[in-house]
Structure 1
Amino acid sequence: MTVPKAEPESVDRRSLHERIAADLRDDIMSGQLAPGSSLPSTAQLKERFDASNATVQKALQLLKEESLVVGRAGAAVTVREHRQRTVRPAALMTPGRPGEPYRWLTEAARHGTRARSVLREVAEVRPPADVRSAFGLPADGTALLRSQILLIDDEPAELVDCYYPLSLSRGTALMERRRIKGGAPALLTELGHPPRRSVDRVSARIPTQEQYRALHLTSSTPVLRTLRVVHGDGNGPVEVTVMVKAGHLYELEYEFQVE
């Protein structure tokens, strides 16, 4: 019997310093290199990756620019504390109680960080194709956009574009250019459209130019893009949201219960 040949591995065409940074980034993200621990010495990294001193330093510079590590030339480079954040979408679905801030803000405070949001735009727009598809809109269909950027400890953390059906949002606070007390889930509940079910589609993508600038990214590491379709008690979605996070700073945690 003829044994089929294994498929040849594809060639990694990235520069060596990018490949070194990628491997070290994975060590940091997986916890192999814990917060506060020192990276291997330059001599050890040179031996591990068969690289020159200059190449290793370029790799470390990438990680410093991403704020994953701190250190200076000639001194130990250490993994920065509290960089990776775990996002638990289920914890954000329940609307806040009357008078409470948006759940995202209270969750951030619970983990010891300062969070705030900046409203970027409120307008009737033609949404992206996947948002139009979720709403069942035609190619020239429009929806209300509420766009904001979320900051943690004054660092850009996430771009959030929330879209709402015009039939639901007209004449409500959703149309106003101001933050909504308790967040949109609380307002939707007040309007008789409480969020009941959320469906997420998560993908990793290379950041667009706008995302790169807005999130203050320093390399082309992927971003995490979540398309969230929120359903109420009716047939169609009450909200469709596009969220974009820096991929090297976040992980998503989903919990499922088998019935």
Structure 2
Amino acid sequence: MARSFEDKRSAHQKIAATLRRQITRGDLAPGTRLPSTPALMEQYSVAGTTVQKALLMLKDEDLLVGQPGKGVFVKGGTQQAVSPAVYMPPAAAGEPYRWITEAAKRSQRGSAKLLDVITIAPPHEVATALGLEEGERALLRKQILLLDDEPTELTCSYYPLDLAEGTAMMDFRKIRGGTPALLNELGYPPRAFVDEVSSEIPTEEEVVALELPKDMPVMLTFRVVYSDSDRPIEVSLLTKAAHKYRVRYRLPVT
């Protein structure tokens, strides 16, 4: 017999979760007017203050907006699907970083802000994926990717020093076409990548960088990119707001 389990979240958190799911999955479209507070009070059998707390959560998440004298309306839409495979081919010579060109196809403005370029001892799982010896260092390039000036992804990418040293990757400046284009020019084209996607509680750095609302989890992708002979050439931790984005994969069945 299945054991019983109780949802111990507060009433306003449960209501917000229900409405959030309806918004992100498209059941409540942008511009839809929500039922009045009394109607929501009756629907969920709660007090008015509980309804207001739930709506405030979703306003903080930029999913709802209040219009004085008119009501509360859905502001955000369904989660934007991100297809990792489209970003993997290196940009052609002279072309912008694929984040920018792919955003333009969706009538969005993509941009990137470089935060740090540093040689460090990487986290354990990164060192393992890169095949580094204990204590061996790697290059970290950290940046924020933006869509229409909104922070979208915190990217921490690590590279083996034997590939990075003596190249523009070591400099604190953007690289035309991004590091994939540079690695391709150096004779290390991407041949395959492996993603591990998880839902995580954000760190303080992630909350600040992505301007996350309180208690919002993040979607964390741990990506390893391989070149010829299955050599790992890049390991990245890609962090996005979980309520705004989803990952889409299309894979052949063999």
TM-score greater than 0.5 by the shorter chain: yes
The answer to whether the 8 A contact 1:42-1:53 is kept is yes
Report the secondary structure of 2:193's partner residue. strand
Residue number in structure 1 paired with 2:15: 20
Instruction: Determine whether 1:6 maps to 2:39.
Output: no
Query: Any gaps of 5 or more consecutive residues in structure 2?
Result: none
**2:121 is the counterpart of 1:126:** yes
- 1:150 is matched with which residue: 121, 145, 154? 145
Trace 1:56-75 onto structure 2 (pairs within 5 A): 56-72=51-67, 74-75=69-70
Q: Which amino acid aligns with 1:6?
A: A
Within the candidate set 131, 138, 142, 1:136 is matched to 131
Identity %: 50
User: Structure 2 residue aligned with 1:176, among 151, 168, 171?
Assistant: 171
Structure-2 separation of matches of 1:142 and 1:47: 60
State whether residues 68 and 83 of structure 1, in contact with CA within 8 Å, keep that contact through their aligned partners in structure 2. Answer: no
Question: Partner of 1:207 in structure 2?
Answer: 202
Residue from 15, 28, 33 that aligns with 1:33: 28
Deviation at 1:84?
Answer: 2.7
2:186 is matched with 191
**Of residues 245, 248, 251 in structure 2, which corresponds to 1:250?**
245
Measure how far apart 1:29 and its partner are: 1.0
Root-mean-square deviation over aligned CA pairs: 1.4
SS state of the match for residue 234, structure 1?
helix
Structure 1 residues 75 and 140: alpha-carbon distance in aligned structure 2, compared to 1, 3 A threshold: farther
1:225-249 CA-to-partner distances (Å, cap 9, x unmatched) read 0000000003430000100000000
Separation in 2, partners of 1:177, 1:205:
29
Could you give the per-residue CA deviations for residues 148-171 of structure 1, whole angstroms, max 9, x where no partner exists? 001111111110011000011100
Deviations 1:73-102 (A, max 9, x none): 653222115563110101111111111111
Alpha-carbon spacing, 1:128–1:242, altered in 2? closer, same or farther (3 Å): same
TM-score (norm 1): 0.94
Per the alignment, residue 229 of structure 2 pairs with 234
* Deviations 1:201-226 (CA, angstroms, capped at 9, x unpaired): 00001111111111111121210000
| Deviates further, 244-253 or 125-134 | 125-134
TM-score where L is the length of structure 2: 0.95
> Counterpart of 2:240 in structure 1: which amino acid?
K
